[in-house]
Copies of this chain bind each other. A is one copy, B any other.
């Protein structure tokens, strides 16, 4: 894509963010990046359909036997630990390691990171493999931030804030990853800058795998602009939220919203994007 325009870094300029959103979505549609997903059983269907409707190419391939051959050729990798079991961990680590070593962006979704020691330990080991982006909800990011800081710096007790923004900033600083926290407003930070993405509708929380799916969309957006992962992350969240907003106008409940969201993501045009992207500064 054209990198001559100044990036919308720093204080958000609404029209610049909106233009960049449209540029990134257009790039996904024209380049159709190959996004490998090692994800949970619940989300595979919606995640693959989210990527397809956005114009990307999903590859739902997780066996440790083929990662050495396959992963170096993907444009981005998405790892989600939703239905984690120990036999999947080696493939997750191998793929993340290869992505990291071959300079491919990769995105971590630390589902229910705080639900068990096994889950938290796996997340921390994956964070060591330098994810480009980590996206979770407030509880997940807070759990990961505390543990990450504790394991890296022994400063667990110094972090008493339960504020997800502070947790996200700390995790971003400790990990070097862009960190996104989904919520009523999505928070995105690189450890210093913080922006909020205000698109989306509350009913998305009543549909399983929407969080997982937007993480995959982030991977597709970062794939087409790996040097600006902060912006790509914020705008993938915004675009997915816009698709939900438009879908919500036709929905009668969570199942029809799910359908209309995917249809809308497929059909989004420039006017939809330019008029609806809503990114604000939190710094």
**Chain A residues in contact with chain B, CB under 8 A?**
40-42, 44-46, 48-49, 52-53, 58-66, 69-70, 82-87, 112, 115-119, 205-209, 251-256, 258-267
Contacts and interface: CB of A to CB of B under 8 A. Distances in A.
A259 B255 contact: yes
A203 to B, nearest CB: 8
A45 B48 contact: no
Contacts of A252: 260, 263, 267
Given A53-B206, A116-B66, A263 B256 contact: yes
A277 B56 CA distance: 32
Contact of A255 (B61, B70, B85, B260): B260
B263 A45 contact: no
Contacts of A251: 263
A246 to B, nearest CB: 11
B63 A84 contact: yes
Copies in the complex: 3
Contacts of A84: 61, 63, 66
Contact of A42 (B45, B262, B265, B266): B45
A265 B267 CA distance: 25
B255 A267 contact: no
Contacts of A253: 53, 262-267
A49 B84 CA distance: 19
23 contacts: A40-B60, A42-B45, A48-B208, A48-B209, A52-B205, A52-B207, A52-B254, A53-B255, A59-B112, A62-B83, A63-B83, A65-B86, A65-B118, A69-B115, A70-B115, A252-B263, A253-B262, A253-B264, A253-B266, A255-B260, A256-B259, A256-B260, A256-B263
Contacts of A64: 85
Contact of A44 (B41, B52, B58, B263): B41
Contacts of A46: 45
A42 B65 contact: no
Nearest to A203: B266
**Most chain B C-beta atoms within 10 Å of own C-beta, residue among A45, A64, A258, A265:** A45
Nearest to A258: B255
Given A49-B207, A252-B260, 8 more contacts: A45-B208, A45-B209, A65-B118, A253-B264, A254-B262, A255-B258, A255-B263, A256-B263
